[in-house]
Amino acid sequence: MYDLACIGASWGGLQAVSRVLADLPAECDLPIAIAQHRHPDSQERTLAELLNTQTSRPVLDVEDKMAIKPRHVYIAPPNYHLLVERGSFALSVDERIKFARPSIDVLFETAADAYGAGVIGIILTGANDDGALGLARIKDVGGVALIQDPLGAARRAMPDAAIAATAADAILPLDAIGKFIYGLWVQPAAKQPVRDSGAVEGVRGNREVSPAHAETSAEPTRR
């Protein structure tokens, strides 16, 4: 059973996050936490209001010690790190990490520490490498690592870095991510087959491939 999905995004993230939320069926009650890079002077609630138009789920800017509830979407407020504790969130104004606050790495690493294998981490479009180490941490504790296919990302640096940092469970086009999360939620005991997107141009990673693919070829299929 999965306890929390964590999404990290930067440049182009509004469109990407909106699509993931819109594609996730309403009956999936998995809580979702989002770290989206924004200008520190961004208005609170603006992102939540925009995302509320894309989903029937309540979308909230996190307040310190806010409880985690099923089927809710939680947004890191601008200029705060979002940390996950068991059953609740915390906010921090510690130093920026990789020039970012909120930091995707902070969200992912604290989620992994709080929920271990119960976390699904998703890296979307972005222009730096924030989130790569955090996604690797989620994978290391037994969670699920999903990455948007860099070829379809508005900015591919963030997906590229995540691919290089960890063995992703799936590298997916944007329009497949919501459905894949739903599949994990429906059948948590049976891990879905790894979806290998083939070689990603300019990136050398250690992505997992399905057993059938591994038996037939030592090299990933190239587009």
The reply to whether 10 belongs to the active site is yes
Q: Is residue 207 within 8 Å of residue 163, measured between CB atoms?
A: yes
**23, 61, 129, 130: the active-site residue:** 130
Token representation of residue 167:
């063995």
Q: Which amino acid is at 67?
A: A
Strand pairing of 73-75 and 81-85? unpaired
Q: Phi and psi of 74, rounded to 5°?
A: -120, 130
Q: Is residue 143 within 8 Å of residue 112, measured between CB atoms?
A: yes
d(CA 146, CA 20): 12
**3, 10, 103, 105: the active-site residue:** 10
**37, 81, 129, 149: the active-site residue:** 37
The reply to whether 37 belongs to the active site is yes
The reply to whether 103 belongs to the active site is no
Q: Which amino acid is at 23?
A: D
**Collapsing DSSP states into helix, strand and coil, what is residue 101?**
coil
Which residues are annotated as catalytic?
Answer: 10, 37, 130
